[in-house]
Amino acid sequence: MRVVVAGGHGKIAKLLERELAGRGDTALGLIRNADHAAALRAAGAEPVVCDLEHTDADTLASHLTDADAVVFAAGAGPGSGPDRKDTVDRGAAVLLADAATRAGVRRYLLVSSMGVDDPPTGTDDVWTAYLRAKKAAEDDITGRDLDVTVLRPGRLTDDAPAGRITLARHVTPGAVSRTDVARVLLALLYAPATAGHTVELVAGDTPIADAVTALSATPPA
């Protein structure tokens, strides 16, 4: 399988790239900073320098040639303001969908977030902007003629992977390790019947393979 990962230098992205490489798959990681190329190679991925905030759909599509799937794991990151939450967490995700359509890549995995259905109304404008950008991306991309799975992880940790999760349309809020998120993404890539689903993910009691198999057997909500 040939998979293009947007936000290729992110923590979850690099973990996914390692998982793909470990299976003998080809991972291409889109990065905006060429200095990150060595880290991607160390993860077993092929780095592709492409700034998603400063490119167009046709140029991005040229990097998706012969891909079997794309994964949007990019984010504006800590310290960014509301404007970049929109340009990256929404705008870049939508741009990747435009490029995937141009390149004939149907499979699209979108890493979103729990909480997007009910963003806070308090004083944290950046967090609210982040959740609204993620939800806007979901709404745009799931409305397209693509095979989309939206994964909404809970609070992310760097804990050791448990290998056991709760994966469903709605789950009780909780935490999940980034490695388990990456392994769920890998399992979803190999489970085309999960297209059409939007699911939340936290640590739980079900082995990842069993949880994804159960999801594949369930019609999308």
Instruction: Give the integer Cα–Cα distance in Å for 36 and 5.
Output: 14
Per-residue model confidence as pLDDT tens digits over 55-110: 999 999 999 999 999 999 999 877 788 889 999 999 999 999 999 999 999 999 99
pLDDT bin (cut points 50, 70, 90) of residue 35 is: very high
pTM of the prediction?
0.96
Whether 210 shows a pLDDT value over 80: the answer reads yes
Phi, psi of 37 (to 5 degrees): -60, -40
Domains of the chain: 2-216 (3.40.50.720)
Mention every residue, 6+ apart, whose C-beta is less than 8 A from residue 127.
Answer: 119, 120
Region 175-193: mean pLDDT is 98
Instruction: Give the integer Cα–Cα distance in Å for 145 and 103.
Output: 13
Region 168-195: mean pLDDT is 98
Region 193-212: mean pLDDT is 98
Mention every residue, 6+ apart, whose C-beta is less than 8 A from residue 172.
Answer: 166, 202
* Helix 178-189 / helix 208-216 crossing angle, nearest 10 deg: 40
Closest CA to 202 of 136, 156, 159: 156
